[in-house]
Structures are given as structure tokens and as C-alpha cells.
Amino acid sequence: MANVTPSTVSRVMNDSKLVKPRTRQRVLEAVQSLGYVPSKAARMFKYGKSRIIGLVVSAQHISELIFNAGFQAQFKALTEKAHGVGYNILIITSADAHAESYFGVIKSQAADGFIIMSPYANEALASMLDDSGIPYIFNMKYSDRPEDVYFASSDDFEGGYIAAGHLLGLNHTDIRFIVGSVKGRLVSFNNERMRGFMQALSEYGIPFKEEMIVRIPGQPEESYDGIARFFRSEKPTALMISNEITAAAALNYFYDHGIRVPRDISVVGFGPSEYYRGLRPHLTHMNADIAWSSGRIVEMLLQRIEGEPIGIEPFKKPELVIRDSTARLE
Amino acid sequence: MANVTPSTVSRVMNDSKLVKPRTRQRVLEAVQSLGYVPSKAARMFKYGKSRIIGLVVSAQHISELIFNAGFQAQFKALTEKAHGVGYNILIITSADAHAESYFGVIKSQAADGFIIMSPYANEALASMLDDSGIPYIFNMKYSDRPEDVYFASSDDFEGGYIAAGHLLGLNHTDIRFIVGSVKGRLVSFNNERMRGFMQALSEYGIPFKEEMIVRIPGQPEESYDGIARFFRSEKPTALMISNEITAAAALNYFYDHGIRVPRDISVVGFGPSEYYRGLRPHLTHMNADIAWSSGRIVEMLLQRIEGEPIGIEPFKKPELVIRDSTARLE
DNA sequence: CTGTTAGCGCCTTCAG
DNA sequence: CTGAAGGCGCTAACAG
């Protein structure tokens, strides 16, 4: 229609200077009137890159991820950051959380890099991806090797340590740490928080006992019942609750049974302040800076994709936000 | 490595019968040991289809969408349904909610069909997509033309009508309908709910007044203040609250100011029951069946992509779930 | 400045 | 049963 060859059209579409203004004009008019848009698929094929970031979640854990209070903030931060630099996000699920399963879906996708939302550390997967030269970033510490720094998260050891220290400083000793678990297995950040918790206990000279760790499912449907079951037989003076949903469920249980917070029990939550602002009473909590970690994740991943050196700064120390749910034990 | 041509490998990868078992074996071994995976990009290019569904949101409205309580359930339902049939979901944002802006990003993507999360009706966009033969489904009624049935949502007119009828039946007449708005414009479902509200009023012989409609932002950061500002000067006996975040903010305001629900004020919410289960007091609400509509959206879209005839059933009537937040006005 | 050519990886003919 | 050839849409390199 513009009486030019595809090459010239290509040049126009790619803003090459090597086109006479008059020709460019003709081409643009034709493009306009035909509604022509270059085929994304052909471009991907030709360039070998898609400007797509794969967000990998295991199907087994997707509920856990999505119904986590931080998910919305995380999703927003990830997409906005990625879209800001011209990348789109593709949601990918693997059947389960094993390295092979992740690796299989990852290899078969046309994405330039992957964000792996894994519930557990997964050194094996990292090795496989390294071997294949596929850029990736995890949402948390995924390995114990010091050279494995391709993740960004809040420092969960510190979180557990600071939260426990806060309660211990208020004279609480009968503290329970409520954690979610998937098939009886602790997700990594709970392991870290637990280590921090134990560290604080030992500094205060309180012996750690197994029963201080209470496993209650973090899903909306099950949390409340789990809390109710626990309180049928136990009466601690303070709780640390690792999961926002469970924290909300606990508050609901207290509301329903006339248990006053913090007068009857002190509670510390973990997670984004934005979430806790919406609960009553307003919970004292360890704020995880989701916007920071999500932004960092995309940033690092893009650096890996572009082959640039990446800045190493995987952890951010969480902040204790004191609100209305913790009180000194007299 | 297997001493065969690419053609044969292709046949093996595609389970063609035209390969001698021994050859197939050799090829599979080579595939295994090389970790060969066919290029997704090349396949997309060749077939002209990507098995990707684009989820289109305007950048302006992404917060609103994500921080809506139904989003998590919706996201889960959409991804699980899509993944279940071998499609992945690509998150796409358009700069704004204008037809041209949506159309631009849609045309430039390598997706087989699009789910359009629009805050407003958008007949113009639908026409453009129809002209280009691009399959799409909206997340809500997007047009007044009876032939435009490419959407699935809860019936918001009924929602407003039933909710208002419930309060009117409890003798409330000083009812306010709190709706979110984006730049002063009502999102479509609020328009529908408002129409239902007015219909119920008129059946009860209560004159509608402009001030019954109260616009308060639905964002977490702004809702609480909006509620506080409203209650400085007003004292209705009942509220309908169109946005879950605002409903939670109102409950928090009541908690903070000693206002008892439902003794001092009755409240009806809108949105998924899963969400309201987590609030105290437990709100009476119109349940929107997110799982149904999300499932339906993907189903219809796939039917359009495959060129099958689509079942027409765009609306689901919402259900009044009576809990602890509404009481008879004596 | 513009046209011609070739090739990205895959799959589907068509030949043998 | 397997190989050879061609083309999907695009762009970079080369020629003019």
C-alpha cells in the first residue's frame, strides 16, 4: 500500500533514521489505515527474547501465596515495576514444589527470566537454572551457600528475634509462636523466624520447649478452627503469629469469646503494616516491606537478564511497629 | 546425536506415529541427555497461537482492582482454571481506561484472547475488538446492546435491590449507599447497584434523595478518613457499603468511636463471603460468587478462542447473607 | 536512502 | 518410516 518493501516498513516501525521523511510518512499512513501491528510472536522468535517475566508458583502453594496479606501489595509492586520497564508478567504454575517440576515448566516457557515464589529453600533448582543459564530470582533465601544471593526478602531471623525480644521485655515468658505449615513442613521464613525466636529466648535465659511452636494452617477456611482448638486447652500470656490470616482469625476468636487484647493476652503479628492497619485492635507487628522486596526482585532479575552486574543486598531488616496489642505482664 | 534430521525430532516431540520405535527411542535419549525443550517462541510463531490469556487492567485502576477483596479469589480462580486447560495468564496494563489505550496494548500482545478488567462499560473497545476478530471477555456488563454478552458477573442491579429491600424491611428509611468512585465517576457495578437501590426505595414509597449516595474512596489509605469525615456531620440508621475495604474501614471507625453495630447502625456489605467471614462484627452482605464468574469468564473466553459457540449466561444473582450487622429499627 | 537476501526454530508437506 | 524443502513475520547485513 505504501509501495515499499517489508524492510522499509521494519525500519519505520523501529524508528531507524535511514528512511526518507516522505517515505516514512507514506508507510505510517498505511500502517494507520490498515491497523498494522508487528507480530509480537515473530519478534520474540527473531530476537529470542520476549520481554516477559515468568512468575512461578507451585499449584499446591498458590492459595497460600495468594491469600497471604502481602500478596496484593506484592502483586502490585511486581507488575508496576515490570510494566514500567516494558516487561509483562506471566503467571506460571508448576505441579508441585520439587526442583524438577519447577524446572520443567520454566524451561518450556518463552520468558526472559523467572521470579520463583517457592515455599521452601530450593538449592537444587537454583543449580539447574544456573546450569541452563536461565536468569532467576527467588522470593526468599533459597540456599545456605554464601554465593547464592539471587533473592530479596525481609530478614526473617531478625523478625523473629525482635518480636520475641519485645514480648520478653514486657515480662512475658509463656509465649507461643504460631506458624503455618504445609504438609507438616515449615516454610523457610518460619524456620528463620523460629531461629530468631529461640535466640531471643536463650538471651533471656528462658528454656525453649517444643510446645512453644504451634502449627495452625494459614488458610482462611482453617485458621479460625485451628485457633479455637488451641485455645480449648492452652492459656499463654502472649502470642507471636507468623501468618496474617491466622492473626486475623485469632482476633476474631478473641472477639467472639470476650478475650481482651492486650489485657488478657498480648499478640504480635508479622506482615505488611497496610494489612494490620485494617485490623482491630491494631496489632503490634513486624512490618515486612513488601514494596521494597518486590521492587528489588524485579530490579535484580532485570539486571541478570540484561547481563549487568547485580547489586547484592538481599535482606531488609523488618521493623517493629508497636500498636495496641501488646502490654506489660504484671 | 541421535543421527536423525530435525523433522524426525519434531515428529517424536509431537507423538507422531510415523517413527520407528527404535528411532524414537534414540531421539528420546538424546532429548533427555541434552535437556532439549522445543522453543516456545518458535512454536508460537509457527502456529500463530500462544496459549496465553491476557489479563488487561488499566494502570490507573490496578490498585482498585488488586485491593478489592474479591481480587484474591478471582485471581486464584482465573489462574487455576486457565492453567487447568494449558493456558497461562499474562498481566497486561494499559495506560488508561480509554478504548484506544486498551486496544493498543491488546493488539500488540501475543495472547490468544483477553480478559478485560474494566472499571467502566466500554462498548467502543468491544466494537474495535470485534472488528479485529480478537476474542475477549469483560469482567462486567460493558454495553447496553442485547447482543453484547461477552461478560460474566454478579447481577448488581439485583444486589442493590435486595440489599436495600432488606434494610427497608427492617424499617430503616435513613439509608446511605456508600460507593467508591474513580475521579468522580461511578464504576459500572455501582451504577447498577444504585439503580437497584432506587427501585427498592420507590417500591417502599421512600423518595430518593441525592445525598443518599455517598462517595468515599475505596483505597485502603483513604477509606477510613472518608468514613470519618462523613460521620462528623451525618447520622444515618443504616448503611449499604459497596466496597469491602470501605466496609472494613467503617467497622474500624465504629470500633474506635464506640459505635455499636447493629444497635446504633445497621450495615450491609457487598462482596465475597470469604472476606466478610474475617470481619467483626460479621457483616450481613450480598455475596458475589467470584469463583463462578471467574470460571465462567475463562470458559467463555476459551470457547471464543476455539471458535466454539458460547453458552449465554452472563449474570448470576447475588445472595443475601444475613449475619450480625443488621437489626430492626424500633 | 531502499531493496534483496537470508535465517531465527519449528512443523508440514512432498519425495523417496 | 525418514529426509529434504519451504514458509510462518521479522530484521540485520549487504548491495546498490
Q: Assess whether the region A6-38 and the region A156-288 belong to the same CATH fold.
A: no
What is the signed CA dihedral for B12, B13, B17, B20, rounded to 10 degrees? 10
The region of weakest confidence among A216-230, A252-266, B147-161 is: A216-230
pLDDT band at A182 (very low <50, low <70, confident <90, very high): low
Interface contact A280-B249, CB threshold 8 A: no
Cα three-residue angle B278-B281-B287, rounded to 5 degrees: 60
Give pLDDT tens digits for B111-133: 999 999 988 889 999 999 999 99
Interface contact B41-A44, CB threshold 8 A: yes
Question: Could you give the maximum distance between any two Cα atoms of chain A, in Å?
Answer: 88
Number of residues in chain B = 330
pLDDT of residue B182 exceeding 70 = no
For residue B329, give the nearest of B251, B239, B247 by alpha carbon: B239
Q: Which nucleotide is nearest to B42 (CA to C1')?
A: C9
Q: Domain A156-288 classified CATH 3.40.50.2300?
A: yes
Whether the ω angle into residue B272 lies within 30 degrees of 0, i.e. cis, is no
Task: State which nucleotides on strand D lie below 7 Å from a protein beta carbon.
Answer: 1-5, 7-13
**For the residues A9-17, what does the mean pLDDT come to?**
92
For residue B267, give the nearest of B221, B226, B236, B228 by alpha carbon: B236
Interface contact A132-B35, CB threshold 8 A: yes
Per DSSP, the three-state class of B155 is coil
Task: End-to-end CA distance of chain A: give it in Å, rounded.
Answer: 86
Q: Which one of A50, A79, A278 has the shortest CB-CB distance to B62?
A: A79
A330 DSSP 8-state letter = -
Q: Are strands B113-117 and A266-270 parallel, antiparallel or unpaired?
A: unpaired
Cβ count near B325 (within 10 Å): 25
d(CA B196, nearest CA chain A) in Å? 29
Cβ-Cβ pairs closer than 8 A, A with B, add up to 114
Distance A25 CA to D7 C1' (A): 30
The residue whose CA lies nearest the C1' of nucleotide D9 is: A42
CB-CB neighbors (< 8 A) of A41 in chain B: 41, 44-45, 48, 50, 110
d(CA B44, CA B115): 20
Interface contact B110-A41, CB threshold 8 A: yes
Cβ count near A117 (within 10 Å): 21
Per DSSP, the three-state class of B182 is strand
Question: A52-152+291-314 architecture in CATH?
Answer: 3-Layer(aba) Sandwich (3.40)
Task: State which nucleotides on strand C lie below 7 Å from a protein beta carbon.
Answer: 1-5, 7-13
Interface contact B278-A252, CB threshold 8 A: yes
Interface contact B76-A63, CB threshold 8 A: yes
What is the signed CA dihedral for B177, B179, B184, B186, rounded to 10 degrees? -100
- Residue to mutate among B34, B75, B96, B283, with most A CBs inside 10 A, is B75
CB-CB neighbors (< 8 A) of B255 in chain A: 280
User: Which chain A residue lies closest to B40 (C-alpha atoms)?
Assistant: A110
pLDDT of residue B247 exceeding 90 = yes
Task: End-to-end CA distance of chain B: give it in Å, rounded.
Answer: 86
Q: Which nucleotide is nearest to B10 (CA to C1')?
A: C11
pLDDT of residue A183 exceeding 80 = no
- Distances, alpha carbon A313 to alpha carbons A78, A150, A154, B216, in Å: 18, 9, 11, 40
Cα three-residue angle A77-A82-A85, rounded to 5 degrees: 130
Average pLDDT score, chain B: 92
The residue whose CA lies nearest the C1' of nucleotide D7 is: B46
CB < 7 A to strand D: residues 124-153, chain B: none
The region of weakest confidence among A158-162, B22-26, B172-176 is: B22-26
The residue whose CA lies nearest the C1' of nucleotide C3 is: A5
pLDDT band at B22 (very low <50, low <70, confident <90, very high): very high
Give pLDDT tens digits for B28-86: 999 999 989 999 999 999 999 999 999 999 988 888 788 877 888 899 999 999 999 99
d(CA A49, nearest CA chain B) in Å? 8
**Sequence ranges of the domains in chain B:** 6-38, 52-152+291-314, 156-288
Which fold is adopted by the domain A6-38?
A: 434 Repressor (Amino-terminal Domain) (1.10.260)
pLDDT of residue A186 exceeding 80 = no
d(CA B80, CA B244): 24
**For the residues B205-222, what does the mean pLDDT come to?**
91
- Distances, alpha carbon A216 to alpha carbons A164, A259, B308, in Å: 19, 19, 46
What is the signed CA dihedral for A37, A39, A44, A50, rounded to 10 degrees? 50
Interface contact B59-A45, CB threshold 8 A: no
Q: Are A249 and A223 in contact (CB under 8 A)?
A: yes
CB-CB neighbors (< 8 A) of B294 in chain A: none
Distance A89 CA to D13 C1' (A): 34
pLDDT of residue A220 exceeding 70 = yes
Q: Against a cut of 0.85, is the pTM above it? A: yes
- Distances, alpha carbon A107 to alpha carbons B15, B36, B79, in Å: 20, 9, 20
Place of cell 437497584: B196
Residue type at position B328:
R
Q: What residue spans of chain A are helical by DSSP H?
A: 6-13, 21-34, 40-47, 62-66, 70-84, 99-107, 123-132, 156-169, 188-203, 220-233, 244-256, 273-276, 290-306
Give pLDDT tens digits for A84-134: 999 999 999 998 889 999 999 999 898 999 999 988 889 999 999 999 999
**For the residues A20-24, what does the mean pLDDT come to?**
92
3-class secondary structure per residue, B234-269: CCCCEEEECCHHHHHHHHHHHHHCCCCCCCCCEEEE
